[in-house]
């Protein structure tokens, strides 16, 4: 048999075996991956409401303290104890999607906490958008009339300082927060009429 033909057969067999192994690993871990995504979302919501939990009771605590409301395709997570509200936001950052949870006081305009679930910004620059010290700057900031991420220094109740060296990410994050808030605010008003 020709040496080239033997090599091609070996490569095809090796490709089939590794593909089967990868498909099998994917099938075995698919449910676990989905459960982990659900736990990550629930933990971000519970953290936003400052509700204590651990990873053995997270689902029970969530079910006991959070009410899920839906209006026109928008999902709200309401803290049964305080009336504060959280929702999942998403939009295009500079290099990829930014997805997170925004928690608001019961007035639906004062930020309690922002948690980033996924982002693809440049580490050390735009990636700061997912770091707790930066996100803590948003605590107490008003979403109305709109969030203003500024390079001049935050002086108004709706302003937050931009990320140094990451103007594109700062501008994108401002747009994401404002666009999502406008859509969720309209749905929240419709839900409460």
Distance CA 109, CA 143 (A): 5
pLDDT number for residue 130: 94
Strand, coil or helix: 3: helix
* Strand (E) or helix (H) holding 6: helix 3-48
pLDDT number for residue 110: 96
Contact 147/175 with Cβ under 8 angstroms?
Answer: no
Tokens of 97: 């999607």
Domain boundaries, the chain: 1-193
In tens digits, the chain (193 residues) has pLDDT values of 688 888 999 999 999 999 999 998 888 888 988 989 999 999 999 999 999 999 899 999 999 999 999 999 999 999 999 999 999 999 999 999 999 999 999 999 999 999 999 999 989 888 999 999 999 999 999 999 999 999 988 889 999 999 988 889 999 999 999 999 999 999 999 998 8
Closest of 189, 178, 165 to residue 138, by C-alpha: 178
- Upper half-sphere CA count for residue 46 (Cβ side, 13 Å): 20
Q: Quick check: pTM over 0.75?
A: yes
């Amino acid at each position: 048999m020709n040496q080239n033909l033997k090599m091609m057969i070996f490569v095809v067999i090796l490709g089939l075996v590794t593909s089967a192994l990868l498909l099998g690993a994917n099938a075995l871990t698919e449910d676990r991956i989905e459960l982990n995504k659900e736990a990550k979302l629930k933990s971000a919501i519970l953290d936003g409401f400052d509700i204590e939990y651990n990873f053995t009771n997270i689902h029970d605590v969530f079910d006991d303290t959070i009410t899920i409301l839906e209006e026109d395709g928008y999902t709200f997570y309401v803290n049964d104890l305080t009336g504060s509200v959280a929702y999942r936001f998403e939009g295009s950052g500079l290099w990829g999607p930014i997805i997170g949870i925004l928690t608001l006081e019961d007035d639906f305009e004062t930020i309690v906490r922002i948690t980033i679930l996924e982002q693809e910004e440049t580490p050390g620059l735009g990636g700061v958008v997912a770091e707790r010290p930066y996100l803590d700057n948003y605590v107490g900031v008003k979403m109305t009339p709109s969030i203003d991420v500024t390079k001049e220094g935050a002086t108004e109740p709706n302003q937050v300082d931009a990320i140094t060296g990451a103007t594109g990410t700062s501008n994108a994050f401002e747009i994401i927060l404002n666009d999502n808030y406008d859509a969720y605010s309209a749905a929240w008003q419709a839900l409460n009429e």
